[in-house]
Amino acid sequence: MTSRSVVAVLAITTLGFAQSPITGDWRLDSTSGFVALDSSPNGHLGTLAGFTNDPAQWIAGRFGNALAFDGVDDRVEFAARGGIPFFTGRGEAFTLALWVRGAPADGDRILALANTAQQAPLFALGTGRAAAGTTSRLELLVRNDQGIESVRTSSRTVFDGAWHHVAYVETAGSARLYVDGVIDPANFDDRFGARGSRSVGYGTYTFDKLALGAVVQAQSSAHFAGALDDVQVYRCALSAIDVTTI
């Protein structure tokens, strides 16, 4: 058994297959085609959009194959249903874990929740900003339906052309970021009331689309140039040991 499967298998064994806390497990190991298969019990298939030169998008990855994005129009789209909108602003625990390889860039997105009919709501992980000198670091941008946003940026380098593992773990805004299994020293804590005026009743977040490699609203934007492998979403907060395991 490969190490990437250990946490998911332990969860299924402990809780039972239907109750596993893993929402999606996209290993991106295909060799051709335009579907991102889901190895979790939930069957959240992703549709590859913008990819035209099949099977060139499937490349050697960190484990098995990976998916390469051209930075122009490539993305993977999922309907935000059945547990996919892991972030709602109401404090549910969740974990995002993935392998990423990319160069420094200005505001590209590797994973994003958005709304195809509204511009404001957004939950996005991606590269930092040229204006801030953080293009090689990981940025998290969270913006509610009312257009109020929170931006947090890693201290460690994530985008330097090499493979890096990223895990973002949150419970009610109390968050931590791991880069290559080591907790990042940057402050990712966004607990209710701890930053600005955020509270339990603060704003709403209405999402209907999850995407890899871009933000998908009325149109797609912020396209990522690089590769992703083993993208996982858990509806629980993984421990530091869990993160190290995967």
pLDDT means over runs of 10, the chain (246 residues): 47 39 95 96 95 96 97 94 82 94 98 95 97 97 88 97 97 89 91 48 84 97 98 95 91
Cβ-contact 109, 213 below 8 angstroms: yes
Burial class for 174, CB neighbours closer than 10 Å (0-12, 13-18, 19+): middle
Cβ-contact 245, 103 below 8 angstroms: no
* pLDDT at position 106: 98
Burial class for 207, CB neighbours closer than 10 Å (0-12, 13-18, 19+): buried
Query: What predicted TM-score, i.e. pTM, was given to this entire model?
Result: 0.89
* pLDDT at position 181: 97
**How far is C-alpha 184 from the chain's CA centre?**
17
